[in-house]
Amino acid sequence: MLKVTRAKHPSVPLAQADLNDRLPVRRRSFDAVLCALVGEHLSNLRLLFREIRDGLVRGGRFVFSVFHPEMAARHRGELRAGWRRVRLGALRHTVVDYLNLIDGAGFRNIEVHEFRGDDVLVEQVPWASKYLGRPLLLAVEARTS
């Protein structure tokens, strides 16, 4: 992803980091941070959320999204490889876990958005009918104070 981004946007500074460790960013240097679809793979969310908060300017915006924990629990993070099942190593966090950790990191004005499978999804992706009415995505938006 970094290689593709560098080719398309050579003037944008990029960094590779382990999201379970301290981030290589200056404090109070970002207006906004997007963290998308990685939460279930992280073991140190408390540190990550604090690091993100510290990297944002006052009033900075944080948007965090994950596959909805209810959906993740149903699918248990497995793939079939021939006759074998392969575990993907996803960690289980609840909606309350995410919200408590984001709040505990010092974010304010926390808004929760839960997206469910709907008729529009099924119209565009017919095989997704099995998700009709089920929670698919959790998105949380918050601000620094």
Whole-angstrom Cα distance, residue 75 to residue 131?
12
Is the four-CA dihedral 55, 44, 104, 110 of positive or negative sign? positive
Considering only CA atoms, which of 22, 25, 29 is closest in space to residue 57? 29
**Could you tell me which CATH number the domain at 27-144 has?**
3.40.50.150
- The total number of residues shown for the chain amounts to 145
Which ranges of the chain have pLDDT less than 70? 75-89
- pLDDT, position 66: 93
Structure confidence by residue, pLDDT tens digits, 13-22:
888 899 999 9
Whole-angstrom Cα distance, residue 35 to residue 23?
13
> Where do the domains of the chain lie?
27-144
Whole-angstrom Cα distance, residue 102 to residue 132?
29
